[in-house]
Structure 1
Amino acid sequence: MAARALLETGHAYRAVVEARKAGTTTTTTTTAAERLGRQTFGYVLVALVSNLERTFTISPASRPLGRELFLVHFGDVGAERTMEIMMAAYDEGKHVGKRWTVGNSAQGETGGGEEDGVGYDQVEEVKVTVLEEDPRWRKVCVDGAIVELERGGWMAVKKAPRALFNVLVDRSVLP
Structure 2
Amino acid sequence: MSCHPFIRSTPEFLVITLLAAAVGVSACDFGRDPLLKILDTHPHDVAPATLYDSEATGMAVICPYQSRAAVDEVLGDGPHKDIPETGLLEDSNALGIVKPSGRTIIKRFARSKVDLCAGTVELGLYPGDARATFEDRDGTFTLVSLTPAGPEGAGSDSAAQ
- What TM-score, normalized to structure 1? 0.31
Structure with the bigger percentage of strand: 1
Structure with the bigger percentage of helix: 2
- What TM-score, normalized to structure 2? 0.33
